[in-house]
Chain A
């Protein structure tokens, strides 16, 4: 099992606030790791550090053995990382099809493109909306479009920040199925989520962040059944 992404002593402070307080983190190829923790724990900031949106105040980040701590975000994506942020980031004036074409033109040759486009549209239930401008999509469809784009890049590791936020129960289950399918195909994924049912559906391992540090880390059930993990959510620690 090779480590595909790791951080060493990662710290980040904004002004006086120490948001990330020393994180040593590792994820192996093929894993689906859920990152959970109460609000303010630093989960989204952690993801932003991984993709390069923020620079670390201290420590380093390594992808496939290379130190990427100061590599620009678009280059990290070029190296095989892919991210879907919490807030839907779609292109309002472009159609769904154009979104996927945009991504596919970077990773497929022209002959394969049409087939791959259709496959993604089907997989993410967007075939009916292929010609619709993304700005007019429902929230759920926007989320799926975003995941479709992130997946369409054929990344080595996929970072998903709250992929089921705002989705209906049925949509959430479908998303979980998609993630499991991707897991079965060997894609490494890191998922930040609050929805515990979803976490149980997809996770291999779970990392709990609290106060900018790793609070607990291990097998799905081993972590989720712990009392002290429950307590940090309830604010007792």
Chain B
């Protein structure tokens, strides 16, 4: 099609004007980061590296615990907020990867190679299983709400199965699965060093590790979702039929983001297992499966930074309330979720920033 003289009078740099209007400060903070040279979320994460100077060791350890879960939340945001896939399977991959790490390291020791090998094994296991499950779902024509049902069923199967592995016959190598009691005493991650002893990644070191990983994962995810892949994914979310009619093989994109998001769930599982030296089937139960959904719904399905903040904040809140009894924490979580769904379906944090934006007259 040859170019033709423009019939309309609109100036061609209308687009440029539009872009300029977008660089308002609040939009920069929570909007599409990584479009400009400065990404505030990465800066925030960078600032957190200095927190050990202010917080106590216990505080840092607690913060590290909260950060561990952000990967699962980011993964769910990518799948659900961008891809429109509500997977209840995050905790399944969480548990699988955690157990994989435990089994690997209990059997193969605590050298850098063994522990990082455990991490790699857990992640690879997630990729493979998510690919298989995803293939069955997306290439098998399972759509919409049934994706949720199937992934929830998988999670429950795993939980039910693991819960009855208490007997001594349930062991892989020297690692007993232990049913409801869970698996424990697996080694921490270590880094090789030139000194005689390898560097143990515990306490503050572990905190730095998780923070660095978060920065990396955030960067990669942001880039991915801002790219043409991300745009295609969003079109599939908005109108899968129309996307198909534009020549897009929607199954491929859905599978890809499902594997990506689920593996991030596995990463959380591995880090959780490392943090506490412990993993149980209850981290795969119905209640546990609800948690990432609550955080992502609150943080705003499509806002990665919102999701990170919501996860850390709400986990922290649960911890505080758990002192009184975990029931109170869960009731509050439930109430927050209900409020978010009814009043601020876009997410609590995006709604707050929108109101703030109006307040400061963007």
Contacts and interface: CB of A to CB of B under 8 A. Distances in A.
Q: CB atoms of A and B under 8 A apart anywhere in the complex?
A: yes
Interface of A: 51, 73-74, 77-78, 83, 85, 89-94, 97-99, 101-103, 105-106, 118-119, 122-123, 125, 127-128, 130-131, 149, 151, 153-154, 181-182, 185, 187
Contacts of A85: 245
A119 B231 contact: no
19 contacts: A77-B247, A78-B247, A89-B242, A89-B245, A90-B239, A91-B235, A92-B239, A94-B234, A98-B231, A105-B231, A118-B12, A122-B6, A122-B12, A123-B7, A125-B7, A130-B14, A153-B246, A154-B1, A185-B2
Given A93-B234, A94-B234, A101-B231, A127 B247 contact: no
Which interface residue of A98, A99, A102 has the most chain B CB atoms within 10 A? A102
B175 to A, nearest CB: 45
Given A90-B239, A91-B234, A122 B247 contact: no
A127 B8 contact: yes
Given A91-B235, A106-B247, 8 more contacts: A90-B242, A93-B234, A98-B231, A98-B234, A122-B7, A123-B7, A154-B1, A182-B1
B248 A74 contact: yes
B235 A94 contact: yes
A23 to B, nearest CB: 21
B37 interface: no
Interface of B: 1-4, 6-8, 10, 12, 14-15, 18, 228, 231-232, 234-235, 237-239, 241-250
A73 B245 contact: yes
B264 to A, nearest CB: 23
B247 A91 contact: no
B234 A105 contact: no
Contacts of B238: 91-94
Contacts of A99: 235
Given A181-B4, A185-B2, A187-B1, A74 B247 contact: yes
A83 B250 CA distance: 17
Contacts of B12: 118, 122
B246 A151 contact: no
A188 to B, nearest CB: 13
A73 B242 CA distance: 11
B286 to A, nearest CB: 30
Given A151-B1, A185-B2, A89 B14 contact: no
A145 B18 CA distance: 19
Which interface residue of A123, A125, A182 has the most chain B CB atoms within 10 A? A123
A123 B234 contact: no
A119 B3 contact: yes
A122 B8 contact: yes
A105 B231 CA distance: 10
A127 B6 CA distance: 11
B239 A91 contact: yes
Nearest to A181: B4
B11 to A, nearest CB: 8
Nearest to B232: A102
Which interface residue of B3, B243, B245 has the most chain A CB atoms within 10 A? B245
A210 B7 CA distance: 39
A108 to B, nearest CB: 11
Contacts of A73: 244-245
Contacts of B15: 97, 118, 130
B18 A130 contact: yes
B242 A125 contact: no
A77 to B, nearest CB: 3
Contact of A51 (B234, B235, B245, B248): B245
Contacts of B18: 130-131
